[in-house]
């Protein structure tokens, strides 16, 4: 699945979190950014907002 928001293209994967034995129900599918992905952005504030809206909890700034 890809999101195209303004000049951003973000690829996310569906991550199944399995089955909950206690409540005998499937856990929801979560969308996540694949591990090891490097995202190059021009505007950090917009990018952090977009990542936060998608549920991505942490980001590390790397200067290249």
Per-residue model confidence as pLDDT tens digits over 1-44: 555 555 656 666 666 667 777 888 877 766 666 677 777 777 77
Asked if residue 29 is part of any domain, the answer here is yes
Q: Which domain holds residue 46?
A: 2-53
pLDDT in the model for residue 53: 75
pLDDT in the model for residue 8: 58
CA distance readout (Å), 41 to 5, 13, 24: 13, 20, 42
How far apart are alpha carbons 60 and 11 in whole angstroms? 18
Asked if residue 8 is part of any domain, the answer here is yes
pLDDT in the model for residue 13: 66
Asked if residue 44 is part of any domain, the answer here is yes
| Number of structural domains the chain divides into | 1
Asked if residue 62 is part of any domain, the answer here is no
Q: How far is CA 51 from the centre of its chain?
A: 6
- pLDDT category at 47 given cuts 50, 70, 90 is confident
pTM for this entry: 0.37
């Amino acid at each position: 699945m890809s999101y195209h928001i303004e000049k951003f293209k973000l690829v996310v994967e569906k991550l199944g979190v399995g089955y909950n034995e206690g409540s005998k129900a499937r856990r929801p599918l979560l969308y996540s950014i694949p591990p090891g992905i490097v995202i190059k952005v021009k505007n950090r504030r917009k990018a952090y907002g977009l990542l936060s809206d998608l549920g991505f909890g942490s980001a590390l700034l790397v200067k290249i």
